[in-house]
A and B are shown apart, each in its own frame.
Chain A
């Protein structure tokens, strides 16, 4: 069931979907970009959008989230979960790398005890993917089993074929949504051929590479090589940018606030790059910067694959683009001193 839609009709399409869903689209806030609630009009993102600075994970795992409220009454406490808005959501234009990141996050948030906050939002959301036609020079998704047109992790996939988008339903959720959407044309064989060509062109535009062959073993073999890690992490400033903006980083902190008798327990993004993350009163197992960066690299390329059989990096390149000192993980992975 492949359809197509004129680019100039995207506003109408979103309006139609807006009847059933809260729509989220790429938007600018000053110079920062993220997925925010659609204002019902503006589709100018189609002109400027390459990817958002804040990854779409923020829609499911926000930087700050209320876990529950509590009220103090004479030494007793009443706990109350936040009301769920129950609103169905649709994210329009998620990139393949970020959709894959959500599939990676699903694994940890479903593992053993389910994480109710993340999963409830996830179940309630339709992902409409938009293939990349203009990847950044920092993108390296093709090295990680994905590509700029990868439709594996979205419900509906759009491919730019000039004046139109080819629209494929990938999941049952996507199929039923497209079946209930009016104003779509059937795609012709020529459209599909154009899409295929566009996808091949995009694929070739991703030129950055990492070699992931035997990466777990390579990392394990140099885990204790302090000199190496110290050298390659010397310029890191231990800020949280690369982890906070990473679409697969999920570490969080939990904190309370109590004002008068009303309290909130918050969950917020945390980062293995910050010393306080592992700090205990007497000791800090990752006091040194090289230990923390090593943890970040190993978690993505060694530990997560050991646990879930997938590298926790999608090659979106945010950590490279946004780093204040231009630290580049692909350089690190290429320079590992492999001991045989």
Chain B
């Protein structure tokens, strides 16, 4: 298995047991769309509140006690301290339970797990962010990180799509990126409504129209599997090599640490060796299993 160094993270273990969550408190809830909510949270324990660190792209396991546990990426950027965020789409048992919670509720949290976006590799490159729906959540943890260290990176293109205008997440981010002259952002929806004046079309198609240059560029992709499947070939057409394409994947997970088995792509585990992968790493196995 690829060797991973988690020694610096072991200090975050509750009672030395990797499966035992810490208690975190929900501090704020933002309705992003009819089915997506962002939760601002922080540790109940003062010491952890100060010491907890993570990197853009990492995730944590959150639990509603008595209902169960599910993984969510930490959607805030480590460059912005004060609180942590994760965004939840209401789709199943745990996410429904999370949506029923209010400010002040206690939930379990263990992590951070997984790898993170390769900041060193991204430095001095043109960055093309491609996201669909709630897939913007992990990317925004990186986008804010990049914007907060703006001089380290070259051009920033963001292509973001959702099913409908009502399904666009993080509108407050979209607004500030729109205003930021150092960021090119294109927003699209599969199907607009009467008030929608922006682009219509699926993300891969819009990507092909926008046609960002592959020269000294890296594409960072996150969205539903169907979007990812159709985005890879377009990027290839635009001249991006598999190494120039980075994605962060979602699979059903339980343990979050590479043991329970279900999130593998070939010999790699999305929770342990990912969730951030280069397309080069996974292309052997991804075609028929993602």
Contacts and interface: CB of A to CB of B under 8 A. Distances in A.
Complex contact flag A–B (Cβ < 8 Å)? yes
B1 A111 contact: yes
A285 B287 CA distance: 10
Given A79-B21, A280-B251, A72 B267 contact: no
Interface in A118-156: none
Interface string B277-290: 00000001101111
B163 to A, nearest CB: 12
Given A77-B65, A252-B254, A291-B289, A272 B262 contact: yes
A42 to B, nearest CB: 36
B210 to A, nearest CB: 26
Contacts of B251: 278, 280, 285
Contacts of A20: none
B85 interface: no
B1 A308 contact: yes
A338 interface: no
B253 to A, nearest CB: 10
Contacts of B67: 256, 258
B16 to A, nearest CB: 7
A171 to B, nearest CB: 25
B250 interface: yes
B66 A67 contact: no
A263 B21 CA distance: 14
A270 interface: yes
A112 interface: yes
Interface string B26-44: 0000000000000000000
A211 interface: no
Contacts of B1: 111, 307-308
B119 interface: no
Interface stretch (A96-104, A196-204, A218-226, A320-328): A218-226
A226 B288 contact: yes
A2 B282 CA distance: 51
A212 B254 CA distance: 32
A270 B18 contact: no
Given A109-B259, A112-B6, A253 B20 contact: no
Contact of A307 (B21, B68, B267): B267
A114 B259 contact: no
Interface string A155-173: 0000000000000000000
A38 interface: no
Nearest to B285: A223
Contacts of B226: 283
Interface residues of A, number: 55
Given A77-B106, A77-B108, A308-B1, A277 B262 contact: yes
Interface residues of B, number: 51
A220 to B, nearest CB: 7
Q: Tell me the dominant secondary structure on chain B's binding face.
A: loop
B255 interface: yes
Contact of A303 (B104, B266, B290): B266
Interface string A84-118: 00000000000000000000000011011111110
A255 B68 contact: yes
Contacts of B65: 70, 72, 77, 256, 258, 263
A258 B255 contact: no
B91 A282 contact: yes
A79 B20 contact: yes
Contact of A252 (B255, B258, B287): B255
Contact of B260 (A77, A251, A291, A299): A251
A49 interface: no
Nearest to A308: B1
A251 B69 contact: no
Given A77-B23, A108-B259, A263 B267 contact: no
Interface in B240-272: 250-252, 254-255, 257-264, 266-267, 272
B19 interface: yes
B230 to A, nearest CB: 14
Given A111-B1, A112-B272, A251 B68 contact: no
B288 A283 contact: no
B68 A256 contact: yes
Interface in A247-276: 250-258, 263, 265, 267, 270, 272
A81 interface: yes
A251 B255 CA distance: 10
Contacts of A278: 251-252, 262-263
A68 interface: yes
B15 interface: yes
Contact of B264 (A115, A256, A303): A303
A81 B17 contact: yes
A76 B105 CA distance: 8
Nearest to A243: B261
Contact of B257 (A113, A270, A279, A307): A113
Interface of A: 67-68, 70, 72, 75-77, 79, 81, 108-109, 111-117, 220, 223-224, 226, 250-258, 263, 265, 267, 270, 272, 277-283, 285-286, 291, 295, 298-299, 302-304, 306-308
Enumerate the 7 nearest inter-chain pairs by beta-carbon distance, A residue then B residue, closest first.
A258-B66, A251-B261, A281-B91, A307-B1, A303-B267, A306-B267, A113-B18
21 contacts: A67-B19, A76-B23, A79-B23, A81-B20, A108-B259, A112-B258, A113-B13, A116-B17, A117-B19, A223-B284, A251-B260, A252-B255, A257-B66, A265-B19, A282-B224, A282-B225, A283-B224, A283-B225, A285-B289, A285-B290, A307-B267
